Copies of this chain bind each other. A is one copy, B any other.
Amino acid sequence: MVKMIRKVVKEIDPLKDALLIEGLPGIGHVGRLAAEHLVHEFNGELFLELYCYDFPPQVLVKDDGTIEYMRAEFYKIEEPKPMIIVLGNTQALSPIGQYHLSEEIVKIGIEYGASFVYTFGGFGTGKISEEPKVYGATNRKELAEKIKEHGVEFRSDGGGIVGAAGLMLLFADLNNLPGVCLMGETPGYLIDPNAAKAVLEKFSSIENIKIDMEELKKRAKSMEQFIERIRKFEEEMVKAMQKPPSDEDLRYIG
């Protein structure tokens, strides 16, 4: 078991036949970027925060001295279609934690009216592609055919999906929910608004929702700055701890 805490930010009525959409960090930040774009475009309303004891044991500090917690946030969208969107600034650290977190997200989705699961992610190729393809996977044979008609591709040489984007399809299935994962082709080492756009275009086509992509690049920009700060923070920590005597000294004291 991995403990989690749900903090209800706003009491809402469950939606009807909503799409649960996952946007946790991953390769190229594609999934997070795409999901966050939906929240902004369709005025998503934060209604629940999820804290998991297997998230990194830290908090982030903002410029104004206030704190950002490691957590997943649940946003509700009513129009053009009921959606519950999960954004996060981290995945769970351990394998077991990833199972529990994915299960909890699906559970919350169902409690708030989700009947279908989308997970967004990146598919890392190591090289830049002008027109990124979107690869798909699904827990229903009939959905495989449907998304293929919308131009989603399947890799002939297989592969896998690591983390919440994959496991949420398992827990969707165990709860009798259909689910689709859309992965945008991405170099993997950049924050990739192009791949996010490609994913959203397929999503838009499959669900027949119009999505304005204008702001997507701006969002990628500000995400880049944030990640640059995280990297700096981690470098500093390493620097401070690599000095003599030894980092063991940081753990014990009498």
A binding-site residues for B, Cβ under 8 Å: 1-3, 5, 7, 25-27, 29, 32, 51, 53-69, 88-91, 93-100, 102, 124-126, 136-141, 144, 147-148, 152, 154-163, 166-167, 169-170, 173-174, 187-189, 223, 226-227, 229-234, 236-237, 239-241, 243-246, 248-254
Please state if A189 and B240 are interface contacts (CB–CB under 8 Å).
Answer: yes
Nearest B-chain residue to A186, judged by Cβ:
B240
Please state if A90 and B248 are interface contacts (CB–CB under 8 Å).
Answer: no
Please indicate the chain B residues that have their CB under 8 angstroms from the CB of A159 in the complex. 60-61, 229, 232-233, 236
Residue from B66, B226, B240, B249 within 8 A of A126 (CB atoms): B240
Please state if A65 and B148 are interface contacts (CB–CB under 8 Å).
Answer: yes
Please state if A252 and B136 are interface contacts (CB–CB under 8 Å).
Answer: no
Q: How many copies does the complex hold?
A: 4
Give Cα A89 to B160, complex, Å: 13
Please state if A232 and B95 are interface contacts (CB–CB under 8 Å).
Answer: no
Residue from B27, B53, B60 within 8 A of A250 (CB atoms): B27
The answer to whether residues A96 and B160 also contact, given A27-B240, A243-B126 and a CB cut-off of 8 A, is: no
A-B CB contact pairs (8 Å), 14 listed: A5-B174, A29-B249, A51-B174, A55-B99, A56-B252, A57-B102, A57-B167, A59-B170, A61-B161, A65-B148, A124-B236, A124-B237, A160-B237, A230-B249
Give Cα A88 to B252, complex, Å: 8
Please indicate the chain B residues that have their CB under 8 angstroms from the CB of A188 in the complex. 239-241, 243
Give Cα A166 to B69, complex, Å: 9
Chain A to chain B: the 10 pairs with minimum beta-carbon distance, closest first: A124-B240, A226-B254, A189-B243, A188-B240, A65-B144, A25-B253, A57-B98, A53-B99, A158-B229, A59-B166
Please state if B58 and A166 are interface contacts (CB–CB under 8 Å).
Answer: yes
Give Cα A249 to B93, complex, Å: 13
The answer to whether residues A95 and B56 also contact, given A3-B1, A231-B246 and a CB cut-off of 8 A, is: yes
Residue from B53, B54, B226, B252 within 8 A of A253 (CB atoms): B226
Please state if B232 and A249 are interface contacts (CB–CB under 8 Å).
Answer: no
Please state if A51 and B170 are interface contacts (CB–CB under 8 Å).
Answer: yes
Nearest B-chain residue to A165, judged by Cβ:
B59
Please state if A57 and B163 are interface contacts (CB–CB under 8 Å).
Answer: yes
Please state if A163 and B53 are interface contacts (CB–CB under 8 Å).
Answer: no
